[in-house]
Amino acid sequence: MTKAVFFDVEDYEKNFLQKKCNGKYDYYLLPNPLNDISKLDDDIKDADIISCFTTSRVSGDILKNFSNLKLIALRSVGFNHIDLDYCKEHNITVVNTPNYGNKSVAEFAFGLMLDVCRKITKACIDFRDMNINPLETIGIELGGKTVGIIGLGAIGAEFARISYGFDMNILGYDINQRDELVDKYEVEYTDFDTLLSKSDFISLHSPLTKDNFHMFSEDSFKKMKPSSIIINTARGELINTQALYNALINKEISGAGLDVLESEETISDTDYLSDISMLNSEKLKDTVLNTRLFQMENVIITPHIAYNTKEAINRILSTTIENIDAFISGKIKNKVS
């Protein structure tokens, strides 16, 4: 029987996976991420299939310990946490779960934008502390403002739909231009620098690639309006953290709403608390800067939860099982590598 091991499994996922796997696979449901093979039992190292979330950092050094691995079934759209080069060299297929969180992520990103520009979190905290000062919570309206969307795939397109409903002007930056977005939501495609200079808000919805790593650099922030706000629910590495911090301190931009951070695993992953040697100089620097960002009143940071709705989770799990079933039957769906 095919052996499948699921990592990063939350309690609310267990019933679904048990019902779908019983009688079909020799399966294991593990709560921990796949970060340290030394913590794993020997009897799962001959797994045919592993499945994980973005909290697992799956390097070649980890993968080489699996003697029979044929498929990595990701429970995410993103795949930058997987060593794809190793997978290609060793004929390991990698599949993902696209389109599960289009509405969830787009709605959350828009919520972050509203939160930052209307100072909702600050007002809530101040009121709770009985510090009521309306002058400190003066915000701005969205209607009539310009929002720039980086990446107009499924999530970016949904974000455009919501923005259009709020009567916003929409600029788009993407390699592929979609005529239906121009027709439906009056999206104006433009180049990167023009989007930076004209946008009151910028929302990131691009996958992370080698080409767009740190696309928001010191130079990028200097081209933005001093009143502009940046929103990131995509990948933390799209933004150079040092450049973002400098831009906020120097008032080159007005605020930020972030659901993702560079080196965010150093905050959420307890492995870093038990083994400080895992923190190289770059991760240590990012962690210090992230801590400073947390302390800013014009910055909202959430723990990578934009996808986290009941509907999206159900789609993730359903697509994951469909991907595994298809692979076993000789068909490959949603192949990344």
Q: What is the 3-state secondary structure (H, E, C) of 123-177?
A: HHHHHHCCCCCHHHHCCCCCCCCEEEEECCCHHHHHHHHHHHHCCCEEEEECCCC
pLDDT at position 250 over 70:
yes
Tokens representing 151?
Answer: 């990446």
Contacts of 201 (CB under 8 A, 6+ apart): 113, 117, 142, 145, 146, 147, 148, 228, 229, 230, 231
DSSP letter, residue 223:
T
The pLDDT > 70 percentage for the chain reads 98
Catalytic residues: 235, 264, 304
Q: What pLDDT digit, counting tens, does each position of 13-28 carry?
A: 999 999 999 999 999 9
Percent of the chain with pLDDT over 90: 85
Torsion of CA 246, 111, 13, 57, to 10 degrees: -20
Token duo for residue 131: 């510090």
- State residue 78's pLDDT score: 84
The whole-angstrom separation of Cα 95 and Cα 77 is 9
Q: Band of the pLDDT at 277, cuts 50, 70, 90?
A: confident
Q: Give yes or no for residue 332 having a pLDDT over 80.
A: yes
Q: What is the mean pLDDT of the chain?
A: 94
Instruction: Give residue 42's pLDDT band: very low, low, confident or very high (50, 70, 90).
Output: confident
pLDDT of residue 38: 67
> What value does the mean pLDDT take over residues 260-278?
79
Q: What is the dihedral of CA 31, 32, 33, 36, to 10 degrees?
A: -150
Q: What is the mean pLDDT of residues 222-233?
A: 98
Mean pLDDT within 281-287: 90
| pLDDT tens column, 320-330 | 999 999 999 99
- pLDDT exceeds cutoff 70 at 165: yes
Residue 55 confidence class, pLDDT cut points 50, 70, 90: confident
What pLDDT is attached to residue 274?
Answer: 67
For the ranges 73-82, 186-195, 288-297, the lowest mean pLDDT is seen at 73-82
Chain CA centroid to CA 35, Å: 19
Residue by residue, DSSP assigns 45-104 as: TT-SEEEE-TT--B-HHHHTT-SS--EEEESSS--TTB-HHHHHHTT-EEE--TTSSHHH
pLDDT at 37: 67
Whole-model pTM: value is 0.88
Question: What are the structural domains, with CATH classification, of the chain?
Answer: 3-100+310-328 (3.40.50.720), 102-301 (3.40.50.720)
Which one, of 56, 44, 42, 49, lies nearest residue 7 by Cα?
56
Q: Which two tokens stand for residue 306?
A: 């934009």
pLDDT, position 273: 66
Mean pLDDT of 133-137: 92
Q: What is the pLDDT of residue 306?
A: 96
